[in-house]
A and B are shown apart, each in its own frame.
Chain A
Amino acid sequence: GIQVEQSPPDLILQEGANSTLRCNFSDSVNNLQWFHQNPWGQLINLFYIPSGTKQNGRLSATTVATERYSLLYISSSQTTDSGVYFCACPGAGSYQLTFGKGTKLSVIP
């Protein structure tokens, strides 16, 4: 099946800093999503982004499907951005979603 790798595994930021999280995948995809799991365990969809670039407030995401990676940008980070960020996608011809292991982000005041 498809391999999904996220980097870095852990990230500590000062409030106000910017960051880039990366998701590499081993197969062509037609569906890629980013999620945030907050400290209370809730999983929130941030972006459905099979290709191109999207922005939502301080967050934006870019997927370059031909090069098999996606990036999540967080600007002017806030303590409420803390948590774990996951990307997920299916393999070519598959409906089975595979998640990366996540990037744990800690934003400190």
Chain B
Amino acid sequence: EAQVTQNPRYLITVTGKKLTVTCSQNMNHEYMSWYRQDPGLGLRQIYYSMNVEVTDKGDVPEGYKVSRKEKRNFPLILESPSPNQTSLYFCAAGYNSPLHFGNGTRLTVT
């Protein structure tokens, strides 16, 4: 079964405490991407990766880092989270094929 797995589902943290949201896929897709979803602003792409060691900025990359050391994993790193990064985050895999999303991570930064 095609699957994108992200963890954790919920995360509450404090300003400045580094965190990582993990994402893995079992479909062997080269393309993976991260999005944040905010009320009134819809889904916005943070970063995407076209292959291992190849990443590029999306619409809202400030305050985020990514790495793609292996095909199946694409973690999202917030080195110094701030309250304006409180949001619902989605990881996805696929591009010239149906895009599959993970179940989301609801992050709250206090």
Contacts and interface: CB of A to CB of B under 8 A. Distances in A.
Interface residues of B, number: 25
B42 A97 contact: no
B96 A31 contact: yes
Interface stretch (B12-20, B74-82, B97-105): B97-105
Interface in B51-87: 56, 58-59
A33 B98 contact: yes
A96 B43 contact: no
Nearest to B100: A45
Q: Label chain B's interface by main secondary structure.
A: strand
Nearest to B101: A43
Indicate the size class of the contact surface on chain A. 20 to 34
A88 interface: yes
Nearest to A43: B101
Contact of A31 (B33, B50, B95, B103): B95
